[in-house]
Amino acid sequence: MLRSRLPAFAAAGLLAVTLASCGTVQVPAGPEATDPVCADIILAAPPQVLGMDRTETSSQGTAAWGSGEDTVVMRCGVTPPGPTTDQCTTLEDGNGVQIDWIIRELEGDVFQYTSYGREPAIDITVPLSAAPDQPSGAALDLAQVVSRNIEATDHCVGPGDEPTS
């Protein structure tokens, strides 16, 4: 797997995920979080991801599951990725739903999955501690809600290859 380590300050900005005293996960919204499609995605997001219960978030267009350092976060309305040398992989869930994801390993053993070829774009951050054997499980758990609400307009060239465009 290709690894792209973001500087600590960039990872901190993407993962400014903390629990407030009331249990709300503090998550920065994506720049296009007000897109009506994002509202549909957040409303349709499942009650559990990776077996962890959904918890409240602080920002529009976001959802989270788990608690503390094991929190999985989804943000809708992030900047759609363009051509990149980062790994682009098609993941298929148990129902045959396929989503193309740009996968990056951030500092702190956190994986980030950003949808490729769909607008608005989605990103999912998964701490390795939440899914040590298969961090992609979170993206697979969310494949149905993404595919029902956002049509693919572009695809990865192939597993592990650069995306098209």
Better-predicted residue by pLDDT, 10 or 76: 76
The pLDDT tens digits for 74-104 are 999 999 998 888 999 999 999 999 999 999 9
Which residue(s) pair with 65 in the sheet? 54, 72
The domain ranges of the chain are: 8-149
* DSSP states of 95-109: TS-EEEEEEEEETTT
Cα-flanking dihedrals φ and ψ of residue 104, to 5°? -130, 145
The pLDDT tens digits for 26-47 are 999 999 999 999 999 999 999 9
Please report the pLDDT score of residue 22 as a whole number. 56
Which residue(s) pair with 73 in the sheet? 64, 125
Cβ(104)–Cβ(2) below 8 Å = no
- pTM reported for the whole predicted model: 0.83
Provide the pLDDT confidence category of residue 105 given band limits of 50, 70 and 90. Answer: very high
Residue 123's CB is within 10 A of a number of other CB atoms, namely 22
